[in-house]
Each structure stands twice: as structure tokens, then as C-alpha cells.
Amino acid sequence: MNTKVDHNSEQEAPDSATATMSNPFAAVHTAEPKAMEYEAWRAQLRSVCGRYSLEGVEPKNFVGSIRHSSVWGCAAVDASCNVHRVERTNRDVRLDGMEYYYALLQLGGRTTIIQNDRVSELGVGDVALVDATRPVTHISENRLVRSLSLHFPRQSLISHLGLEPETGVSKRGQTPANRLLFHLIQDGVNGWGPACASAEPYMQLAIYDLLGALFATPDLPAVSSHADKLFKHICSIIKERFADPDLNPSQVATEAGISLRYLQKLFTVRNSSWTHFILSVRLDHAGRLLHRRALLNTRQPISQIAYASGFNDPTHFARQFRRRFGHPPGAHGKD
């Protein structure tokens, strides 16, 4: 492995970042944190992000800085370094037990991210979503790179989106959702957070929604078979009407124009069932409502959330919720 550092890279990366930052949609303007020595930087990284291994630079040639802060109530880490490879292994994941996603916003230089067998290239203005519960590798070719990462409790983001988002992929800075995300973070970094403290919970929800727009809609292959199209239609009917506690499979089968037996078969061949699917949809919706309740500190009765999610028995709801999430509804979203 080549451990020689390109000494011009420290100047090249900021120049590139400065040029791109002249476009307000491209990147977030932030003051460069104070430079740190190698060991101090590594210790700070582990304290705020978890266990990572560094490769490809001698400590005496290390250039980097790191700062931990908050943006709209979300934990944020502004970091730069000229390390060739920063890696998080399965062993690291097991040892530190970190449970969060982080949105990585590229502020300077270029980075390659490898996660879930996906390889993504990030340039200035791009954003990637990374899962801290899975191994990941960051490669920067011994050039100084800088990024801002926002951390989100894993279960909170899943509950809000209603599914596990794509990770290990990057989204280019030209998309509308990406531009809005960078603008929102820009305002948080520039100090609007303290001036708008009462709006902070709503801004967090806006960030969650923008992440959903970027990463909750994977590029799935086109549906080709009639059965797959029909099953997708059935799922859409359920997702539109799940709040009705009296909704039953016979009604959905009739609306889809098929027999009850065929509807049940469509679930069976996919190792699922009507009961499992609609319960999952209802619990995901309840999780989002409870997360919002905790974030906004409202006093909405949990029974009201149960009814709004399609449950007609709050006790049954509480039992199923604990089975699914591992804690009672009242504790949801209090990370």
C-alpha cells in the first residue's frame, strides 16, 4: 500500500470545495475545525462515531481535524483527514453496539464508500446514507477530504420512513431533495438553530422526510409478471385503508377482482400472510406517530394513536408493539 501523501492535496481539496461552495446548492459553508494530531483525532472519532481502523498514512504525515456539534438537534460531526482508508469491520460493529444511521455530506475532496456490496463515489455536494450497524469502508486515495455527518437513531429513522432505507449509495447534489437538505443543514450550521429553538423538532422531521425522498425509494427492477403487479396492487390497497379496523382480506380480494384463496396464495408464496403484512403496516404507522409525539413533546393519548393506526383494542396494540419494537409504545422515540 502506498503511504506517501500528496502534499499538494491539502491545498487542492479546499480549493475545490471553495469553488463548489460558491453555488449555494452544492455544499455547506463551515469554518474549518482546529488541526489535530493523529492519536487525538482517532480517539475523538471513536468517541463520537464508534470503532474505526485507519490505514495508509504515517502519524507524522497526518493532517486532519474533527469537531462534534449539533445541527437542528441532530448530532453532527465535521471531520477532515488525509487517511487513505477508514474502515469499520464486523468486529467493530459487535464491540461498540452503535445503533444509528449517518448522512455523509461531502464538503471537500472525493471519497469512495463501500457498504452492502455497493461502491459509491462522492464528490463535493453529494450525500450518502451509511448504516453504522454494518461494515463500511471509506477510501480517499491519500488526499485531504472533508465531510459533515449527521447521526440519526436507527430505529427512529426506520419508524419515520416505514422501512429500512437504502445505505451504501450516494445521491448527487443536483436533485431537488439534495438541494433542500443542504440548504436546511446550511442554516443549522450558520446558527439559525439557537434562534429558532422552538422550530427545531419540526426541522428534524423535515430532515427525516428529505432523507426519505433520497433513500427510501430504491431503484427496483421493473415489475414484469402479472402476479407481481397484482400483489403490488393489493399492497397499495392495504396501505391506503389500513386505518380501517374492519378491513379484512375478503374486502381487499373483492376490490382487486380476485378470490380470497388466490389473495392468500399471493402472500404465501412470498413467505408472508395477510395478517403479518397488515399488522406490519399498522405498527410502522404507529411508530411514526409515536416518534413524532416524542419529538414534538405532545400529550396525544397512545390509545388515540392505536385507533388511528387501525387497532380497535389499545391493549392488543401495546402487546403487538412491544413484540415488534422491544419496548412499550410510551417509550418509543425517546432515544
CB atoms within 10 A of CB 234: 21
Q: Give the integer Cα–Cα distance in Å for 13 and 107.
A: 9
At residue 221's C-alpha, the angle toward residues 215 and 226, to 5°, is 125
Over residues 292-335, the pLDDT tens digits come to: 898 888 889 999 999 999 999 999 999 999 887 778 999 887 65
Most confident by average pLDDT, 1-15, 24-38, 69-83: 69-83
* pLDDT tier at 228, thresholds 50, 70, 90: confident
pLDDT on residue 181:
92
User: How confident is the prediction for the chain on average, in pLDDT?
Assistant: 83
d(C-alpha 281, C-alpha 247), whole Å: 13
List pLDDT tens digits, range 274-288: 998 999 899 989 988
165: pLDDT strictly greater than 90: no
Helices (H) and strands (E) in the chain, counts: 13, 11
- pLDDT above 80: residue 243: yes
Residues 186-227: tens digit of each pLDDT: 888 876 656 677 788 889 999 999 999 998 865 444 444 678
- Nearest-angstrom CA–CA distance, 262 and 250: 11
Residue 29 has pLDDT above 60, yes or no: no
Q: How confident is the model at residue 43 (pLDDT cuts 50, 70, 90)?
A: very high
Q: What is the pLDDT of residue 160?
A: 84
Distance between terminal CA atoms of the chain? 41
Q: Of 73-82, 162-171, 176-185, which gets the smallest average pLDDT?
A: 162-171
- pLDDT in the model for residue 52: 94
Judged by DSSP in three states, 102 sits in strand
The confidence score (pLDDT) of residue 6 equals: 38
